[in-house]
Structure formats: C-alpha cells, structure tokens
Amino acid sequence: MRGLHLTADLRGCAVTLPSMTDPQALRCLCLSAVRAAGLQPVGELFHRFGAHGAPVTEAPADAPSGVTGVVLLAESHLAVHTWPELGAVTLDVYVCNLHDDNSRRAESLMATLEDAFGAQHAERHRVQRGRLAETVGAAAAGSPPPVPSPATRSRAD
C-alpha cells in the first residue's frame, strides 16, 4: 500500500478558461492530461455548481459556476475543483505504487494541469502514503518496527 499523494491549491487562475466553468471542457482537459501522463482512466464524474455552491437551476445565468471533476484511475484518482469567482483551483492526484512506481506519472499529470490553469500562485504538498502499513507488516513478520517520526504518528501513538 505505498503511494504518492500530490495536492496543489492554485490562485490567480484565468477565470475565462472554459475548464473553470464548463464540465465538458474540464473533462476533456483532465482525460487528456491523464492519458498524456501514462495513467489509465477507468471512470469519471464531472459536475457544475451554481453561484456560491447553489444548485445550477437556482444560480443566475450570468453567475460564475465552479466545476468538480473526478477521474478514477486504475492507479487511484484525480480530483479537480474550480472556483471561478475566486480565480482558484484545487488539484488532488493520488497514485498507488504497489507493483509499479507511478510517481513520475503523477508528477507529470499535476504539472500539466497546473500549466493548463495558468495560476499566478501555487501551494503544493507531497505526501508519501502507506508507511504505516509497512511498519505494521514488519511487526507482523517479527521485525521490530521503526520508530515513526512525529509527522507520521497516528492517534494511537
């Protein structure tokens, strides 16, 4: 259960980009980026929200509406959330690295999407997932588990 989880909070995105407000445009962008990164889409869902999160049917026609899109990957998932009224986008890419190391593919996907939104500012996070499983597995095999750092300790610690 090893994996890489990448997130990015983007600000200063071009609000006139179709992918900020149009589910079909965001879908095309995401699926193209997923395939270009060498990852395998196996499912998807894209949804447009009304102004301030209201259902689309209640939003004024000229109000900017954000989109949430999720692509289920054979390797894990991609999630994208747009806020055109804030010029903001959040990106979430998670890949499992059980049989193959998909880290470079995840990084490529993230870079492609960041570039596509043309953000002026980005806050990025990178989390290696699955270390607890390795620790538990080592203990079950009779090896003493390594002492986790404070950043990786669970509530049970």
Q: Is 49 exposed, middle or buried (0-12, 13-18, 19+ CB in 10 A)?
A: buried
Q: What is the pLDDT of residue 155?
A: 41
pTM for the predicted model, two decimal places: 0.78
pLDDT recorded at residue 139: 56
| 88-125 exposure pattern, b = at least 16 Cβ within 10 A, e = fewer | bbebbbbbbbeeeebbebbbbbbebbbebbebeebeee
Q: What is the pLDDT of residues 127-149, one digit of tens each?
A: 998 876 555 555 555 555 555 44
Domain that holds residue 113: 3-136
Catalytic site positions: 76, 81, 96
Q: What are phi and psi of 127, to 5 degrees?
A: -125, 125
Measured in degrees and rounded to the nearest 5, phi and psi for residue 139 equal: -65, -40
Establish if 146 belongs to a structural domain: no
CA 103 to chain centre: 13
Overall average pLDDT of the 118-130 stretch: 95
Residue 149 domain flag: no
The residues pairing with 148 across neighbouring beta strands, listed in sequence order, are: none
In a domain, 65, yes or no: yes
